[in-house]
Structure 1
Amino acid sequence: MAAQLQWVIRIVLGVFAVVVLTACSDATGVDQYGRKVPVERIEGQWLVINYWAEWCAPCRTEIPQLNALDKELAGKGVSVLGVNFDNLQGAELEKVSEALGITFTVLASDPAERYKLPRSEALPVTYIIDDSGRTRERLLGEQTAEGIKTKLAQLKAEG
């Protein structure tokens, strides 16, 4: 009887561990609304990661371009992601994102370490990461949707 109980306990603990580990690997943090960002949005995708700040005038001008780019490239293997330069979190990040009209995903956690992105002292700055997670381009200054699409096409053609 004791052996059976130990066996059942081991199975239950094993199943629990798998569930916990799976739940942890299903997301890469949260967005500006506190929603989990699924791993599929990040891994195996080309990423356009834009650093912005509320006080940055060129950032404000660029946001509609990034919104349009995100909408156009949705479902095409490219994700547009934002990162607040001032590391705003929670309700403050949500409030500022909404005030600026940001519709693309803003990551609450900075992915700089994951992709070995250098901290830029100038804004806006946009990084293009390929589908294998390698940083391919650093674009300093205000960008347009067309300019980023052209750069993506060029980088994809280079392989």
Structure 2
Amino acid sequence: MNLTSLRATLLAALLCLLPLAASAAPTLAQTRFTDQSGSSVSLRAYQGKVVLVNFWATWCSPCREEMPMLNALRERLAPKGVEVVGVALDNKTETYNFARQLKINYPIVLGDSDTLSLLRSLGNPAGALPYSIILDRNGKQVGSLLGRLNEKNLEDTLRHFL
């Protein structure tokens, strides 16, 4: 086998692997999170609502700063079919103590070791926090926002999908 045909064979083998690598990345619909009671939950439970999924951690200052705003936003827009779900990349005790301290009224679930891969597949290659995605009423991702959220812009964006 000459060098040219060896390269062609290797390239063909690599191209065959690409669909496998792409399908190995977790999807939001397939992902299960853990709630405070330790139960496995899926975001499919919120289908039919416009959902803001906010990935955060207690050690992330911008995350902590935006949570009261998210709490108030959820309270205002819940009657119109908006839900906020926090996905914490942190340990259970610190997460729920912090949420209780701030009186967070939206659902908070825990991510796991696959959550960083999920963030990357959702359009956040660096895995930076805070990171939020917007799901339409069918559960389809229709937007993503990296960094601390601006309340007015976020509310205008969410209302667009109501």
Q: Report whether the alignment pairs 1:107 with 2:109.
A: yes
CA drift of 1:43 comes to 1.4
CA drift of 1:50 comes to 0.5
Which residue, 67, 70, 73 being the options, matches 1:69?
73
Q: Which blocks of at least 5 consecutive residues in structure 2 are unaligned?
A: 1-31
Q: TM-score, length-normalised on structure 1?
A: 0.63
Which residue, 41, 49, 53 being the options, matches 2:53?
49
Which residue, 113, 134, 153 being the options, matches 2:140?
134
Partner secondary structure for residue 127 of structure 1: strand
Q: Which blocks of at least 5 consecutive residues in structure 1 are unaligned?
A: 1-27
The answer on whether the counterparts of 1:32 and 1:93 sit within 8 Å (CA) in structure 2 is: no
The answer on whether the counterparts of 1:32 and 1:105 sit within 8 Å (CA) in structure 2 is: no
Which residue, 139, 143, 158 being the options, matches 1:152?
158
CA deviation vs aligned residue, 1:104-131 (integer Å, no higher than 9, x gap): 2102357966xx6355521111100111
Look up the equivalent residue of 1:98 and give its one-letter code: R
The answer on whether the counterparts of 2:49 and 2:83 sit within 8 Å (CA) in structure 1 is: yes
Partner secondary structure for residue 133 of structure 1: coil
Q: Report whether the alignment pairs 1:81 with 2:88.
A: no
Partner secondary structure for residue 75 of structure 1: helix
Q: Distance in 1 between matches of 2:154 and 2:40?
A: 26
The answer on whether the counterparts of 1:33 and 1:94 sit within 8 Å (CA) in structure 2 is: no
RMSD over aligned CA atoms reads 2.9
Identity among equivalent pairs (%): 34
Look up the equivalent residue of 2:109 and give its one-letter code: L
Look up the equivalent residue of 2:68 and give its one-letter code: P
Look up the equivalent residue of 1:151 and give its one-letter code: T
Look up the equivalent residue of 1:105 and give its one-letter code: P
